[in-house]
């Protein structure tokens, strides 16, 4: 598993909503890696990992400070429920030479959390993108936060416009084929 690079980057995790997002990424990672049942992982987090302040424990010890548990549950459940749509959106956005399976598993979990939240949230896209870029800086020291920015921006614009490649193809067919 990718280790958190610089815990000072997660100062914002003292905010309950940010802490919920970090925890959701960790939970989605665990679900994918261990093939655990989502509700089982949610219960593990609610019972064993939440409610510990950073003064008493650290992310290294698997503890998460006060978090918005309702948001956490919603992100995990939505990320799992919409996994197919999320993977389709990622496939449409990433270059053909870079399939989703090639992404770092933590990065996949981050995209799953961000897009799961975006699909059911009234939070403005720009706010979500900035939140997940900040979180990406805590997990990665390379160019991954830039990738998070570009991919989320592209997908969220597409979702806001209600377009996907399938919908664009259908519109072209209705208009008599693609324009030359």
Taking Cα atoms as reference points, which of 117, 37, 26 lies closest to residue 63? Answer: 26
Give start and end residues of each alpha helix (H) in 35-65. Answer: 38-44
State the Cα–Cα distance between residues 8 and 59, nearest whole angstrom.
11
pTM: 0.78
Question: pLDDT for 46-102, tens place per residue?
Answer: 888 876 554 554 555 555 667 899 999 999 999 999 999 999 999 999 998 989 999
Answer whether residue 171 is part of any domain.
no
Burial class (CB in 10 A: 0-12, 13-18, 19+), 6: exposed
State the Cα–Cα distance between residues 71 and 53, nearest whole angstrom.
18
The single-letter DSSP state of residue 45 is I
Q: In terms of residue numbers, what domain contains 98?
A: 9-159
Answer whether residue 147 is part of any domain.
yes
Question: pLDDT for 15-45, tens place per residue?
Answer: 889 999 999 999 999 999 999 999 999 999 9
- Band of the pLDDT at 148, cuts 50, 70, 90? very high
Helices 105-120/69-81 angle, 10° precision: 100
Q: 76 is written with which tokens?
A: 């995990």
Average pLDDT over residues 132-157: 96
- What CATH number should be reported for the domain holding residue 76? 1.10.940.10
Answer whether residue 169 is part of any domain.
no
Q: Count how many domains the chain has.
A: 1
Answer whether residue 140 is part of any domain.
yes
């Amino acid at each position: 598993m990718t280790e958190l690079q610089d815990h000072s980057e997660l100062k914002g995790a003292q905010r309950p909503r940010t802490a919920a997002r970090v925890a959701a990424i960790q939970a989605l990672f665990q679900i994918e890696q261990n093939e655990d049942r989502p509700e089982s992982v949610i219960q593990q987090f609610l019972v064993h990992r939440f409610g510990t302040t950073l003064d008493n424990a650290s992310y290294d010890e698997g503890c998460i400070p006060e978090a918005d548990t309702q948001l956490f549950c919603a992100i995990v459940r939505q990320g799992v429920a919409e996994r197919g749509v999320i993977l389709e959106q990622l496939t449409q956005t990433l270059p053909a030479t870079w399939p989703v399976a090639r992404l770092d598993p933590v990065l996949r979990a981050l995209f799953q959390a961000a897009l799961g939240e975006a699909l059911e949230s009234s939070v403005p896209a720009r706010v979500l993108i900035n939140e997940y870029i900040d979180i990406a800086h805590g997990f990665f020291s390379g160019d991954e936060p830039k990738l998070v920015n570009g991919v989320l921006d592209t997908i969220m614009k597409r979702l806001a416009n209600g377009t996907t490649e399938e919908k664009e193809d259908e519109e072209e067919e209705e208009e008599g084929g693609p324009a030359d």
